[in-house]
Every structure is written in structure tokens, then in C-alpha cells.
Amino acid sequence: MFLLAGLALGFPLAAGFVTPAGAVEYPWCANFADGAGANCGFMTYDECMLTARGTGGYCAENTMYTPPAAAARSRHTARKPRPPKKQ
């Protein structure tokens, strides 16, 4: 009885700490023959074709794919070396 009560109270609390997984998009989609669906989980065209070839399908670019943003350049400029001291 206590076990069931503990589970009934503990599960909703534990579920509140779980973060949803973000969807991962890849640049290539395998479209399977006869309208059997698509799989957009391929990084390269060749990887996609290895799967699609066996099903009679084809590969196309994923129109929903957005490449990761380029790393922001630092606004900090490198220091110029000091001229040598005159003696």
C-alpha cells in the first residue's frame, strides 16, 4: 500500500524534472519507394543513399534543416607588440 502511494506521489514529481529532448534535424532525407515514408536522419548524401538504394527510394535535401550557427567571432583584438625601449 505504501509502495503504491509512494509511486503515485513520486512519479509526478520526478516527471517534472525531466526536460524534453530537442528534435535533431539532419541535411539529407531518404524517401522510400511506394510512399513508405521518409527518414531525415542522414549527415551525408552517400550515407542516405546506402539506405535508400536497398528500398528503391531516393535521397533529397531536407528542407527543414538549418545548419548550426557559426561560432561568434571575438570582438577582442590582439594586442600589438610594444616598440623596444630606447636607451
pLDDT, one tens digit per residue, over 57-86 is 999 999 999 888 876 666 766 777 788 887
Global pTM?
A: 0.53
State what percent of residues in the chain have pLDDT above 90: 37
Beta bridge partners of residue 28, listed in sequence order: 42, 61
Alpha helices per DSSP H over 1-87: 2-15, 45-53
Which band of pLDDT confidence, cut at 50, 70 and 90, is reported for residue 19? Answer: low
pLDDT tens digit string along 27-68? 999 999 888 899 999 999 999 999 998 889 999 999 999 888
